[in-house]
A = this chain, B = another copy of it.
Amino acid sequence: MDMKEKVHKMKMASPKMAATIGEVRNRALSNIADALLEKKEEIFSANAKDMAAAKENGISESVLKRLKFDEGKLSSCVEGLHQLMGLNDPVGKKQFVRQLDEGLILHRVSCPIGVIGVIFEARPDALVQISSLCIKSGNCAVLKGGKETAETNRVLFSVVKDAAVAAGIPEEAFLQAEAHSEIDELLTCDKDVDLLIPRGSNAFVSYIMNHTKIPVMGHADGVCHTYVDKDCDVKKAIPIVLDAKTQYSAACNATETLLVHRDIADAFLPEMANALSEAKVKVHGDEEVSHVITAEPLTEDGYKKEYLDMELSVKIVDDMDEAIDHINTFGSHHTDAILTENNEAAEYFMQMVDSAGVYQNASTRFADGFRYGFGAEVGISTGKIHARGPVGLEGLMTYKYKLYGSGQIVGDYASGEKSFHFKDL
């Protein structure tokens, strides 16, 4: 059976998965947590093989860190599973109940999206995290991990699947793709896969987005900005910018461009440059910036550059409108901050910047499902259709309309014999 057939079979079984009760889905999560601990030696030894192969292939230190599945990652997986169990069941929630007319009652009820395709690079813990999010939300999952962690993924997949099936989850709810060619096959399954969630580099996510008709949730790039307004408190601004750039510079929510109001440039930039230099951040800027602080030229990408590293573009702007236009032009609609004590200015900025997250006096690094209190994160979306920004379980849900009648026909309402009497119940 090829990928396409397998995915079609999953699609046909997805209503069965959607119909599982919350207790069964929670029991599956609990079983998975137990099984991970029970089989940890098997998992670690598979991971050791992946690590050895990766080292042989000269994989970089930072990727090796992500490949590694150790006691620390195991316990965060287990902790995540327990947290997920504690969240409310997102399935079958009545979003509204409306009487359309006597004996004609419309319910809108939350339900799983159906079949989720998840394609992720390098991190084996992502397999556990994503499959458990799919279980909690009643979705079927096609999982494709990076080839660098093939051994670890294979073991993790069978641990997760066996534990879930033992709890009563349908067998067809899980599918693992292993061959790289299966990614392209999966991308053509637009009749059966309802949503794709790619997790990985900009180039990887862009490739997925450009090669499928399936809706994709996620973000390719994260070019976030921090705008230092003329009315900012410099003492507050410096640690925020430092944090936004350096706290984890490889993250999508790290600030890549610092915009500074001309009126405060002289007072703010030299001090900021010192702090950045101490933190080993390389500053890029145009000629104007170079007149105030030491700066290297912008790269070829200019202000569209996502460094994902200890580098920062700096630009001086005439006013807030120029900052807003800059962000809406060069940004990726992810997360952008204004640092100001002027609340009216902040409101204007937050209204006009067209991004998922708009912040006043806080680090862009706060853009994260856990920090927003969602308990679990599916990913961060820079799209505006469906979920936007950090996405919790609700990003894996849709709804259906259930209409309970007693023989009503539209003809009677069209002719005027009957009329609608809307009433929310």
A interface residues with partner B (beta carbon < 8 Å): 11-12, 14-16, 18-19, 98, 100, 104, 106, 113-114, 194-195, 209-210, 213, 215, 217, 233, 236, 239-240, 242-244, 247-248, 324-325, 328-329, 346, 350-363, 365-367, 371-373, 383-386, 388-390, 398-411, 413-414, 420, 422
Number of copies of this protein chain within its complex? 2
Seed contacts A14-B354, A16-B352, A388-B399; 16 additional CB < 8 Å A-B pairs: A15-B353, A18-B351, A98-B373, A100-B372, A240-B409, A243-B410, A247-B414, A358-B402, A360-B403, A361-B405, A363-B408, A365-B409, A373-B422, A385-B385, A385-B386, A388-B398
Cβ contact within 8 Å between B362 and A405:
yes
Output the nearest chain B residue to A355 by Cβ-Cβ distance: B400
Cβ contact within 8 Å between A403 and B366:
yes
Q: A187 to B51: give the CA distance in the assembly, Å.
A: 45
On chain B, the residues within 8 Å of A386 by CB distance are 385-386
Cβ contact within 8 Å between A372 and B15:
no
6 pairs of residues in contact across A and B, judged by CB atoms under 8 Å? A15-B354, A98-B372, A104-B366, A247-B411, A359-B405, A363-B409
Cβ contact within 8 Å between A324 and B356:
no
Cβ contact within 8 Å between B400 and A389:
yes
- Decide yes or no: A15 and B324 within 8 Å by CB, A210-B213, A404-B360 being known contacts: yes
Cβ contact within 8 Å between B357 and A12:
no
- Decide yes or no: A361 and B239 within 8 Å by CB, A351-B18, A385-B194 being known contacts: no
On chain B, the residues within 8 Å of A362 by CB distance are 104, 403-409
Cβ contact within 8 Å between A363 and B410:
yes
- Decide yes or no: A360 and B100 within 8 Å by CB, A247-B411, A372-B106 being known contacts: no
Select the residue from A386, A410, A422 with max chain B CB neighbours within 10 A. A410
Cβ contact within 8 Å between B389 and A401:
yes
Cβ contact within 8 Å between B398 and A365:
no
Q: How close is A294's CB to chain B, nearest CB, in angstroms?
A: 25
Select the residue from A248, A356, A373 with max chain B CB neighbours within 10 A. A373
Q: A18 to B100: give the CA distance in the assembly, Å.
A: 32
On chain B, the residues within 8 Å of A104 by CB distance are 362, 366
Q: How close is A224's CB to chain B, nearest CB, in angstroms?
A: 13
- Decide yes or no: A215 and B400 within 8 Å by CB, A362-B104, A371-B420, A372-B106 being known contacts: no
Q: How close is A94's CB to chain B, nearest CB, in angstroms?
A: 13
On chain B, the residues within 8 Å of A408 by CB distance are 240, 361-363, 366
Q: How close is A354's CB to chain B, nearest CB, in angstroms?
A: 5
On chain B, the residues within 8 Å of A16 by CB distance are 352
Output the nearest chain B residue to A15 by Cβ-Cβ distance: B352
On chain B, the residues within 8 Å of A356 by CB distance are 400-401
Q: A114 to B389: give the CA distance in the assembly, Å.
A: 16
Q: A240 to B405: give the CA distance in the assembly, Å.
A: 10
Q: A384 to B324: give the CA distance in the assembly, Å.
A: 33
Cβ contact within 8 Å between A114 and B403:
no
Select the residue from A240, A324, A403 with max chain B CB neighbours within 10 A. A403
The 10 closest A-B pairs by CB, nearest first: A362-B405, A243-B409, A365-B410, A373-B422, A236-B407, A215-B385, A359-B403, A15-B352, A384-B398, A361-B405
On chain B, the residues within 8 Å of A402 by CB distance are 350, 357-360
On chain B, the residues within 8 Å of A363 by CB distance are 405, 408-410
On chain B, the residues within 8 Å of A113 by CB distance are 384-385
Cβ contact within 8 Å between B410 and A373:
no
- Decide yes or no: A12 and B405 within 8 Å by CB, A113-B385, A195-B385 being known contacts: no
Output the nearest chain B residue to A412 by Cβ-Cβ distance: B243
Cβ contact within 8 Å between A328 and B15:
yes
Q: How close is A234's CB to chain B, nearest CB, in angstroms?
A: 11
Cβ contact within 8 Å between B401 and A358:
yes
Cβ contact within 8 Å between A12 and B328:
yes
Cβ contact within 8 Å between A247 and B409:
yes
Contact of A400 among B328, B358, B360, B405 (CB under 8 A): B358
On chain B, the residues within 8 Å of A15 by CB distance are 324, 328, 351-354
